Amino acid sequence: EVGANTSSINRFVALQRQGLEATAALQAIEVLPGVARFVSDTLQLALNAPIHCVAATFLHGREHVIPGMFERILQSDEFIHRQAPTLCAYLKRHIELDTQDHGPAAEQLLERLANADPAYPQQANDAALAAVEGRIALWDEVRASLQEVHP
């Protein structure tokens, strides 16, 4: 709907279906280094970190921030509503699910996990902070690359 080039993501998915590990597939496609780093860090965390750190990362680095990001997109310009009605419907549904279901469930899960050990709350906070910093770095790089293309 918005004319985005999906060749890199399509190639990434195809390479994984062929059995290539995600990090290797990221290196084989053309993406910004920050995108590759963000995806790789997310996968490494999801697969290897303690569960309370994973829960903190996904709650504070996704469930709490994505609805606001998507709201800004929807409020930014009426053009998106005319040009991309399916995207708008997806964003609205994502906001609804994150704010009404996923976010509250993630908060409850993290609370239970973090209370299992006295060291866990600080570890969870550190993981959450790293996740937010990683997302900021990703978007800073994306913004800089867009400014290079469209000064």
* Encoded tokens for 51: 């569960």
Q: Nearest CA to 115 among 52, 50, 45, 48?
A: 52
Give the Cα separation of 56 and 50 in Å (integer): 10
Entry pTM? 0.85
pLDDT in tens, 28-82: 998 989 999 999 999 999 999 999 999 999 999 999 999 999 999 999 878 888 9
Confidence of residue 146 (pLDDT cuts 50, 70, 90): confident
pLDDT in tens, 74-124: 998 788 889 999 999 999 999 999 999 999 999 999 999 999 999 999 999
